[in-house]
Amino acid sequence: MTDSAITPFSLAVPQQAIDDLHARLARVRWADEAPDAPWAYGASLAFMREMVEHWRLRHDWRATEAALNAWPQFRTRIDGIDLHFLHVQGKGPAPRPLLLSHGWPGSILEFLKLIPLLTDPAAHGGDAADAFTVVVPSLPGYTLSFREGQPRMALPAIGAMFDTLMRERLGYDRYFAQGGDWGSFVTAWLAANRAQHLRGIHLNFLPLRRDAAMFANPSVAEQRYIGELEAFLKEETGYQWIQGTRPQTLAFALADSPVGLAAWIAEKYRAWTDCGGDPRNALSMDEMLDNISLYWFTNCIGASFWPYYARMHAQWPIDGRIEVPTGYCEFPREILRPPREAAERVFNIRRWTVEKKGGHFAALEQPAVLAREIRTFFRDLP
């Protein structure tokens, strides 16, 4: 691949890799579990037994592969990375370019329900004038943008790569951008550092500093958020510390054990979705296993940790106030929900919507709601 070429891509996992996965699942050695409270100390043994049985006997990877291959996929080399992306043309009188960025432990698969709502709104009860041409990259180091031994990329480098993709490779001089999780950091970095290229941004997670300097004289709403933040930092950030300090050590375990990988990700599906304690209330078992399988087959889990390491060993990646028009959609089971007054110190908030249902994986959990918010906010921006 030359440094500027864009080549079509289609995923074809070797049957040998699928057979190896099933063989590993058939000989799992189960961990013991404290008898008093499933999920209290991490992934539930009973849930994991059900997930592994489904993965081994009923999950159809070839169907997932075919669903992904139904969309136009490509690769192009940027800064030494063979960057994988979907590029789906909009159906309407004047589709506008939109960059969608995922996070961890996500992938482009989480956008498959959202894409048709954005690219062909008329086919889903919307207005063709709201159509977008959608570009969905796999983050460098994640799934189909990963190869063994490739350079690791921090968030600013990822943002710069995505801007190169949009402008130099695809020819979109100005575009819209949307993201959650690490994708919200990438989107915000673009707005802070490539503002002249952005027409507007939309977030379903707010990348705000987590320090007291943000709240010198906290309001009632900010005091509520500070309490939530303290609880989150105490009880919910163990994964960040190990991924951010010793990613390589953890990678050995999760690259060798599909059950370990599944437990590490499934616990986040329970903690971060609007599921009432059972992740199957928010996502189907197949939706969870589709993503987990993509991580397994690409053997990318160690590289996917890198943004955590880079974040913990560098300055906060978003500096200064962002003036690009910003829309935000808050879902009730999001990891953190800063109040609007805090967000407005950093972002030029033009639309702020609070939803009644949904969590961290908005594109998977509430694709119709997220599509509506994206279309509504971007509709009137020049």
Per-residue pLDDT of the chain (382 residues; tens, 9 = 90+): 567 899 999 999 999 999 999 999 999 999 999 988 899 999 999 999 999 999 999 999 999 999 999 999 999 999 999 999 999 999 999 999 999 999 999 999 999 999 999 999 999 999 999 999 999 999 999 999 999 999 999 999 999 999 999 999 999 999 999 999 999 999 999 999 999 999 999 999 999 987 766 787 889 999 899 999 999 999 999 999 999 999 999 999 999 999 999 999 999 999 999 999 999 999 999 999 999 999 999 999 999 999 999 999 999 999 889 999 999 999 999 999 999 999 999 999 999 999 999 999 999 999 999 999 999 999 999 8
Name the active-site residue from 181, 202, 290, 328: 181
Would you state the pLDDT for residue 1? 54
In 3D, which of 374, 234, 248 has the Cα closest to residue 301? 248
Cα separation, 174 vs 372, in Å, equals 22
**Residue 181 a catalytic site member:** yes
What residues have CB less than 8 Å from 375, skipping those under 6 apart? 118, 121, 126, 130
Q: What is the DSSP letter of 343?
A: H
Cα separation, 134 vs 204, in Å, equals 17
Would you state the pLDDT for residue 215? 80
In 3D, which of 170, 187, 146, 145 has the Cα closest to residue 88? 170
**Residue 127 a catalytic site member:** no
Would you state the pLDDT for residue 212? 62
Cα separation, 361 vs 182, in Å, equals 12
Helix axes 258-272, 15-26, angle to 10 degrees: 80
Q: For the whole prediction, is pTM greater than 0.75?
A: yes
Q: What is the DSSP letter of 360?
A: S
Would you state the pLDDT for residue 2? 62
The token pair that represents 261 in the structure block:
């990988």
Q: How far apart are the first and last CA of the chain?
A: 36
**Residue 360 a catalytic site member:** yes
